Structure 1
Amino acid sequence: MAFQKPSHTFTKIHLKALHTNNIKILFTLSFTVFINMLGLAQELPTKGKTIPKSEPIIQTTRDTTLVIGDSLINPATNVKEQDSTLKDSIAPKKVFLENNVVYHAKDYTTFDRKAHKMYLYNDAKIDYGDMNITAGNIVIDYTKNTVYAKGITDSIEGYTQKPVFTQGNNKVEPDSIVFNTKTKKALIYNSQTAQGEGTVIAKETKKENDSVYFIKDAKYTTSKNLDDPEYYFKLRKAKVVPGKKIVTGLTNLFIYDVPTPVGLPFGFFPQSEKHTSGVLIPSFGEQNDRGYFLQNGGYYFAINDYVDLSVLGDYYTNGSYGLRTQSTYRKRYKFTGNVGLRYESLITSERGFPDYSKSTIYNIQWSHSQDAKASPNSRFSASVNLGSSTYYRNSLNQINTGAFLNNTLSSSVSYSKTFMGEPQVNLSVTATHSQNTNTQQINMTLPTLQASVSRIYPFAPKNGSKKGIIQNINFQYNLRAENRIQTTDSLFFTSAMFDDAKTGMSHSIPLTTNFKLFKHFSVSASTNYQEVWTLKTIKKYYDEVSRQFVTENVNGFDAFRTYNFSTSIGTTLYGMFNFEKEGKDRKIKAIRHVMRPSISYNINPAFDKYYDGVEIITADGQTQEDINRQYGTYTRFEQGAFGTPSQSFSSNIGLSLSNNIEAKVRDKDSTATEPKKIKLLNNLNFSTSYNLAGDSLKLSPVRMNGGTTLFKNKLNINFAATLDPYALDSQNNRIDKLNIKNGGSLFRLTGANLNASWSFSSKKSGANDRNKAGIEQNVRNGGRADDLLGVSEDFTRRNLEGDDEKEKSENDSQLYNYKVPWSIRVAYAVNYSNSRRQNEISSHSIMFSGDIQLSDKWSVGGSSGYDLKNAGFTFTQLRFERDLLSWRMNFSWVPFSSRSSWNFFIGIKSSMLKDLKYEKRKQPDIQL
């Protein structure tokens, strides 16, 4: 690009003050007008065209098959030949300026015609194509085709309005710049250029073209403080390709201008703005019983903009190893999820020693959620967490620290669809998994099919509301089919796990109605018909040879049908206790008590026809009734998927009472016009039942539960108790005698529990947000949704997440906070058991966790608990974190327990330089 001289610009006229003669000017103008009106001139031919050398050739065409007639009938036409030299093969020369030049300056813009230079001063700006230069002072040299930009030196403010050079997506902020508009090369002095997550600070930069820069004596850092970065890599000579890479010669790390021995003879810094694949550098260390190790090394695959994949591995010199894959996928307005597969082969001691052992553990995690905008009538979701029962206890991966106490693993994958219409049909298919890590028992449904038809009101009016018993009659249809599998860890993923699978299908048609009675009572009545199908039943008989009962499986379709009836009546009672008096502004205005009593009645017939007696091969004269009396009866549906039909008739009356207590208090806000409502008791429920058809123990225990919140919903309290009206005999068994008639109280407390959780923090606290990633991992592992049992120690992963900048006021100190942010979470639980006169506290514990931000950069946290019954501390984890601006330092310590360990980490926050880290850990000695 070149700037055009003003002498070549015909559209601009430069005027100077002249001494003129008016008469001569008038004569000259008149003469000019006269000449323009009468004068003629020959037009020159357009460049690239030639004047024809001869007249056009006249061609006459004649059809030989016709009789020659008058030539006027078919007149000849003139045809001009195209000149072959019409297009010139030589390309025209480019104009001096390919784009419009827009320039502006606040104070002045002057042009020195003698030196052919233009000067722009104060807030100067030049726009040319995709190039933009802003500076305090800009000088354009037309003879050399250069632009020189620099700042303004002020005696008060110093050097201000430094140049900013922008071309495309590249932005450079130097002290001064010389740019050649013809060659598009530039010399840049003391520049700061953003490259990816970092910044290149160079004393001298040579811009070769739009995509290549050569720099000398430069610094590369991700620090926010570019005037005094806390660390940088010194680049003696380097080549920069913006948006792609930085290639440098000898480079080493400087911390606060102090050189360190951490360096390389040459370096490569990728600068891609897109996700790129690359090697993940492992960390190294030593473990007592497994030797030296390399951990978390592997490769990252940036498959596309929607899916990525990380493949990591660990290796120990004693032969142990681990493999992990993690993939995250996301499509906007469609779905999001992640998949993780983990496998570890653990070797303890050495082959030949008595304590030598080898085991393999694995874990599979999958989380998938569908955006609500993707499909309004269908939905697919998945939450999978399955694997070895001992995985979380024996895994060497630090990410599992907060989950090693998990007792259960659960999974669910479901798809549901709604078919709109009248009536509406809902369909869902679900596969579930539940695993007890202590007993290694696994229960699965592969799959569960559910279908339902929405309620149908056959007698409802087409318009208006439904009234009365008849109009409110409705029915619906429900279908549930299951294939249940019960297995263990050792048989998981083998064909043997399907041997004892239970398959069945349940159909139910409930018929209900409701109506008002005496305006204040709500009455509902329902009956339910159920039909259960199964493909496998059993048969029992007594074998005289082996002298034991034998159970045989009978394959084939079979079914049973049941029905029942229920009705209930309830109402709502309101009570108000007013404390207000004239002339007094009391804090408590009123207390409102809401009671909801209800009475229900249920009838469940006996279906004896589905019960058979045990078959005795040699009855020795005994009748079948005698045999049934001696050995009992059974139903062939005992091992079915949906239970068995009832053998005994029941007629129950149920009683329940729920309570809610609220208060109106004076609002602390003086501008409030209404009292403030607070909940004193969220709920307090009582329930029991009486079996009219029972022969003994007709009255069921009274169950009570309730809950409330205090201190502005920061303290949650839930409690429950069971009260038994019957007494115990000398063997501590329930007898058909009321406890009050046996010399005791009206009710006997057989069990109770209390749970309380308290979470409170300072107003400025955001300390718990640092544990958010670890808590999310705990939930994926099947653990608690808090940090009471510790959080993940995978500091490398946390390092990739970056660090959100916090808003700071001018008075915030980096050394000390006069208001220390803090947060504390406490959970308390106690259980009481007295069902057989044991009168004991079965469990009694307290758990607590907290974080304290001692300063803007220092934070301390921990999780622990105390078993009040056994007088001992539970799992304890202490956490320390130091924010080193561009770096992060973490230390985690588990001081005792079988998982005693510590982990120290320091590394750069930037994801591009995440491999520049130091990690040292002492892992627990796993007992297999």
Structure 2
Amino acid sequence: MAIQKPSHTLAKIHLKALRTKSLHILFTLSFTMFINMFCFAQELPKSKETIKPKPLNDSISVTVDDLLAPPVNVRENDSIANDSIPKKKKKETLEGIVNYKAKDYVKLNQRINQTTLFNEAEVTYTDMNIKAGIIVIDHSKNLVYAGRLKDSAGVYTQKPVFTQGQSVIEPDSIIFNTLTKRALVFNSKTEQSGGIIIAEVTKMENDSILFIKNGKFTTSENEEDPEYYFKMRKAKVVPGKKVVTGLTNLFIYDVPTPIGLPFAYFPMTNKQTSGVIMPTPGQDLGSTDRGYNLQNGGYYFAISDYLDLAVLGDYYTNGSYGLRLESNYGLRYKFRGNLSFRYENLINGERGFPDFSKSTIYNIRWSHSQDAKSNPNSRFSASVNLGSSRYFQQSINQLNLPSTQNNTLASSISYSKTFQGEPQVNLNVTATHSQNTNTEQINMTLPTLQGSVGRMFPFAPKVGSKKGIIQNINFQYNVRAENRIQTTDSLFFKSEMFDDARIGALHSIPVSTNFKVFKYFSMSASANFEENWTLNTINRFQDEDGDIITEDLNQFDRFFTYNFSTSIGTTIYGMFNFEKKGKNPKIQKIRHVMRPSISYNINPAFDEYYDTYEIIDADGTTVADYTRFEGALFGSPNKTFSSSMGISLGNNFEAKVRDNDSTATEPKKIKLLNNLNFSTSYNFAGDSLQWSPLRVSGGTTLLKDKMNVNFGMVLDPYALDNNNRKIDQFNIDNGGSLFRLTSASLNVSYSLSSKTFEGDGEDDRATQESLRNGGRADDLFGKPQDFADQRLSDDDRDKDKGDEEEESELYNYIPPWSLRLAYAVNYSNSARQNEISSNSLMFSGDVELSPRWSVGVSSGYDFVNKGFTQTQLRFERDLLSWRLNFSWIPFGTYKSWNFFIGIRSNLLKDLKYDKRRQRDQQL
């Protein structure tokens, strides 16, 4: 290897100091060196000066003709020497600094012109680095040999690690040419974008092209004995880009399979690239009988680093088809989001037969979020989920399974702007959408404009805090304008949806103050002034036929209202101490916190905004009242005077208990009731039924915050007559109890597991899809699964590895498991029906029967309707580099099953097999 010339090495040897025990030998060598400096070989020195020649002038003169000019001595330069193109310099033997080292020794053999580095040897030259047990440098041939070391037991250690550019190879041995930068690698292993290439012989042309012979390609984590691989007879590898091979076929545990191709192409890039998304074949039988199909096939467009687009489609032989467009975009420190459009054209039966039907469904989703640091004074966000009301019920995509139980679709697009100053001004523009999937009713605001001017204190001191009723007087200005649309699913995105639009604006100026009373009471007083603008007014009259006609005027009008309110409240702390001298009870103290509050409200009557019209009937002429603002967006003015008092009481209970840990120095605090609230009101201006029902609500957490309990009830103090109508008589005076229970509810949820609850980490793609559809994060309605579309990735594998614990001999005795329960019951007795209106228990659980085999179930039981809720059974087998899943809904409206087996790695995600029976189409 021409890394270092032997002459250079000899020069270094002469500069080293010599050591010897023989003094006379050292003297002789020094004398010889001294003689060599002053001796001459072959010739003697000249003792005399040389005889110098003397110049003589010629006496003969020569006459030159005038016609013949005397010669002129002219020196000319070669024009080539001044050429603008510089001469190519001779290439240096070395292009960079050579660094080498070894743990034991570095030996130079002058006779064969080789350098040997032994034990933990390393050579670095330009972009090439070799680490090995032994490295031999052949200077004459410009070659580097690297190999392993064999210990006393005959075991090879310190395998070479060859790095050149982006290529990292771990072979048994390697030969590298420093001039051509080509290499021969034997029994190498290299990692390429998540895949492992194992080759008997690899020829490296440079750091960007590799040629291999008898290679194996796999994504298995067991590199020594992969459970599967593709046998490549000859292949070309471009690191970080692609692998192109000739004849290749699949081996499973060294057993060849008939799965193979005459040639294959494996993309290896770490960057996003455009490419084809392979579809999944299937067959749809049953009542729909759409025939054979191809699902989730399409093309992925890597438009840029900030934007991509996936076009996916489904096709059935009976003519049904589906189209999905999905795009993700983002700009770091600015914003990020995703947009998707899904459309399905579903055909059932055969044309000409009575059971033939055709339907189209669609869904649009958009999510956009802005980085809070990009612009602190303005913000834009979007969360859109709209489309056909029956999309999730009729869609055949397995990811939409849990969303079939959604009752509403909701959307919101908003932009807010803050104008800093004193006072601060806020502006917000929002477009909202709410859609009931059962009734197909749609409510939209296009748009909602909200503005506010910050709170101002006109009497506050310039320096110091505000004190007293006067200094705390403050007011602000708010405005809200809406264009509200109510329509149905059939008129959505049609011009008719705007026919019944309502437009209005509400201006309000709240004035309030607060102060202390009797040191322990906080009191507040407020007045609210409102100006209501509307473009929707009416005119009502009776026509000649006696019919009451309501005429929409659709013109601008306004009305002004005001009201007053005040409230007083305090906080009371109570402590029940159970500690006694010489005793250490389990419950030491109980703290009770009460927050009573009394409020008073006055709403004047605004009769000036009411008109009358005559009604002529058989009994004569009567006069009826109405207001032209009945169609106003923000309500009509109050006609009756109202004076009411509100009473509320909030409670909180906590306890200090003795800790079971004997080393603890302080008692442990636990929550008994997070909240227990009572509220009611009394109307002074009412002529009857002045007391409103007493509402009770509460909630707490039990079992180390694993169980959440929430309850509520409504207690009515008035009795019912024989027709089950409320009368102005207290229930206790009618022979009953103090209160009559009209409704009650109880909700309990509980999660338990064999592991400590530390959170589930990030949601997988299927769960995120369910949340974007408006579903719930848990899997009580079933787990969203569509493996052909989800393409289980290596991220799942890494997450599983992080959750693995050290294996135990008793693993199968206590397998890991998890269980989630939810119970809900509602009671109704408003008209003596005395019935349980709803009563259901939902549960979901998973258990690992072995380290790589798990089963799960999601179901529930409706005790009122006497039947099971949507039920899903799940089976999963971890096959190391592969994964097998089976999902089954055994009965019900969405009866179906789905089987999947495929490679976990994204690199070979299209190597899979899945089979499904889709649910029957519901129209």
Aligned residue type for 1:523: M
Task: Identify the residue that residue 749 of structure 1 maps to in structure 2.
Answer: 741
Q: 1:688 aligns with which of 680, 684, 687?
A: 680
Unaligned runs of 5+ in 2: 20-24, 41-71
1:331 deviation in Å? 2.4
Q: Distance in 1 between matches of 2:256 and 2:78?
A: 81
SS of corresponding position for 1:228: coil
Task: Identify the residue that residue 578 of structure 2 maps to in structure 1.
Answer: 579
- Whether the 8 Å CA contact 2:393–2:922 is kept in 1: the answer is no
1:912 aligns with 2:914: no
Residue deviations 1:42-63 (CA, integer Å, cap 9, x gap): xxxxxxxxxxx98999xxxxxx
How many residue pairs match? The answer is 878
Task: Identify the residue that residue 529 of structure 1 maps to in structure 2.
Answer: 529
Aligned residue type for 1:112: N
Task: Identify the residue that residue 587 of structure 2 maps to in structure 1.
Answer: 588
1:784 deviation in Å? 1.9
Q: Distance in 2 between matches of 1:147 and 1:678?
A: 72
1:637 aligns with 2:629: yes
Q: Distance in 2 between matches of 1:505 and 1:435?
A: 24
- Whether the 8 Å CA contact 1:814–1:857 is kept in 2: the answer is no
Task: Identify the residue that residue 191 of structure 2 maps to in structure 1.
Answer: 194
Task: Identify the residue that residue 376 of structure 2 maps to in structure 1.
Answer: 376
- Whether the 8 Å CA contact 1:302–1:309 is kept in 2: the answer is yes
Residue deviations 1:725-772 (CA, integer Å, cap 9, x gap): 111111111111111111111111111111111111122678966974
- Whether the 8 Å CA contact 1:409–1:436 is kept in 2: the answer is yes
Task: Identify the residue that residue 176 of structure 2 maps to in structure 1.
Answer: 179
1:102 aligns with 2:82: no
SS of corresponding position for 1:776: helix
- Matches of residues 521-560 of structure 1 in structure 2 within 5 Å? 521-545=521-545, 547-560=546-559
Q: 2:838 aligns with which of 829, 843, 848?
A: 843
1:139 aligns with 2:174: no
Task: Identify the residue that residue 612 of structure 1 maps to in structure 2.
Answer: 611
1:645 deviation in Å? 0.9
Aligned residue type for 1:743: G
CA pair 808-347 structure 1, distance change in 2 beyond 3 A? closer
Aligned residue type for 1:656: S
- Matches of residues 92-241 of structure 1 in structure 2 within 5 Å? 92-156=89-153, 158-241=155-238
Q: Distance in 2 between matches of 1:431 and 1:141?
A: 76
SS of corresponding position for 1:404: helix
- Whether the 8 Å CA contact 1:535–1:558 is kept in 2: the answer is yes
1:782 deviation in Å? 1.2
Q: Distance in 1 between matches of 2:691 and 2:803?
A: 65
Task: Identify the residue that residue 39 of structure 1 maps to in structure 2.
Answer: none
Q: Distance in 2 between matches of 1:776 and 1:907?
A: 22
Q: 2:665 aligns with which of 645, 663, 673?
A: 673
Task: Identify the residue that residue 770 of structure 2 maps to in structure 1.
Answer: 778
1:23 deviation in Å? 5.4
Task: Identify the residue that residue 470 of structure 1 maps to in structure 2.
Answer: 470
Q: Distance in 2 between matches of 1:770 and 1:561?
A: 52
Residue deviations 1:397-450 (CA, integer Å, cap 9, x gap): 111011111111111111112222211111111111001111110000011111
Aligned residue type for 1:912: L
Residue deviations 1:209-231 (CA, integer Å, cap 9, x gap): 23221111100001110000011
- Whether the 8 Å CA contact 1:635–1:644 is kept in 2: the answer is yes
Task: Identify the residue that residue 493 of structure 1 maps to in structure 2.
Answer: 493
Taking only the aligned residue pairs, the percentage that are identical comes to: 65
1:888 deviation in Å? 1.3
CA pair 144-784 structure 1, distance change in 2 beyond 3 A? same
CA pair 95-835 structure 1, distance change in 2 beyond 3 A? same
Task: Identify the residue that residue 71 of structure 1 maps to in structure 2.
Answer: none
Moved more, 303-312 or 87-96: 87-96
SS of corresponding position for 2:719: strand
1:854 deviation in Å? 2.0
CA pair 647-808 structure 1, distance change in 2 beyond 3 A? closer
Residue deviations 1:307-359 (CA, integer Å, cap 9, x gap): 22111100111110000111122222222221111000010100111111001
1:659 aligns with 2:651: yes
Q: Distance in 2 between matches of 1:96 and 1:716?
A: 77
Q: Distance in 1 between matches of 2:578 and 2:153?
A: 71
1:677 deviation in Å? 1.4
Q: Distance in 2 between matches of 1:747 and 1:664?
A: 34
- Whether the 8 Å CA contact 2:512–2:525 is kept in 1: the answer is yes
Q: Distance in 2 between matches of 1:641 and 1:851?
A: 50
Q: Distance in 2 between matches of 1:734 and 1:263?
A: 80
Moved more, 503-512 or 370-379: 370-379
CA pair 541-809 structure 1, distance change in 2 beyond 3 A? closer
- Whether the 8 Å CA contact 2:280–2:788 is kept in 1: the answer is no
1:3 deviation in Å? 2.4
CA pair 496-158 structure 1, distance change in 2 beyond 3 A? same
- Matches of residues 316-355 of structure 1 in structure 2 within 5 Å? 316-355=316-355
Task: Identify the residue that residue 60 of structure 2 maps to in structure 1.
Answer: none
- Whether the 8 Å CA contact 1:310–1:326 is kept in 2: the answer is yes
1:90 deviation in Å? 3.3
Aligned residue type for 1:375: N
SS of corresponding position for 1:796: helix
Q: Distance in 1 between matches of 2:378 and 2:153?
A: 68
1:871 deviation in Å? 1.4
Q: Distance in 1 between matches of 2:153 and 2:760?
A: 46
Task: Identify the residue that residue 722 of structure 2 maps to in structure 1.
Answer: 730
Task: Identify the residue that residue 64 of structure 2 maps to in structure 1.
Answer: none
Aligned residue type for 2:726: R
SS of corresponding position for 1:657: strand
Aligned residue type for 1:670: S
Task: Identify the residue that residue 565 of structure 2 maps to in structure 1.
Answer: 566
Aligned residue type for 2:258: P
Q: Distance in 1 between matches of 2:205 and 2:450?
A: 69
SS of corresponding position for 1:308: strand
TM-score by length of 1: 0.91
Task: Identify the residue that residue 7 of structure 2 maps to in structure 1.
Answer: 7
- Whether the 8 Å CA contact 2:532–2:558 is kept in 1: the answer is yes
Aligned residue type for 1:132: N
Q: Distance in 1 between matches of 2:11 and 2:688?
A: 115
CA pair 83-344 structure 1, distance change in 2 beyond 3 A? closer
Aligned residue type for 1:596: R
1:400 aligns with 2:400: yes
Q: Distance in 2 between matches of 1:811 and 1:557?
A: 75
Aligned residue type for 1:554: L
Q: Distance in 2 between matches of 1:527 and 1:389?
A: 43
- Whether the 8 Å CA contact 2:812–2:849 is kept in 1: the answer is yes
- Whether the 8 Å CA contact 1:765–1:821 is kept in 2: the answer is no
CA pair 260-302 structure 1, distance change in 2 beyond 3 A? same
- Matches of residues 10-159 of structure 1 in structure 2 within 5 Å? 12-14=12-14, 19-21=26-28, 22=30, 84-85=81-82, 89-156=86-153, 158-159=155-156
Aligned residue type for 1:508: S
Aligned residue type for 1:582: K
- Whether the 8 Å CA contact 1:861–1:880 is kept in 2: the answer is yes
Q: Distance in 2 between matches of 1:815 and 1:913?
A: 36
Moved more, 378-387 or 521-530: 378-387
CA pair 656-88 structure 1, distance change in 2 beyond 3 A? closer
CA pair 754-371 structure 1, distance change in 2 beyond 3 A? same
1:285 deviation in Å? 1.1
Q: Distance in 2 between matches of 1:462 and 1:329?
A: 49
- Whether the 8 Å CA contact 2:2–2:140 is kept in 1: the answer is no
Unaligned runs of 5+ in 1: 33-52, 58-79
Q: Distance in 2 between matches of 1:773 and 1:361?
A: 23
Aligned residue type for 1:557: F
Q: Distance in 1 between matches of 2:180 and 2:618?
A: 117
1:12 deviation in Å? 2.7
- Whether the 8 Å CA contact 2:296–2:789 is kept in 1: the answer is no
Task: Identify the residue that residue 603 of structure 1 maps to in structure 2.
Answer: 602
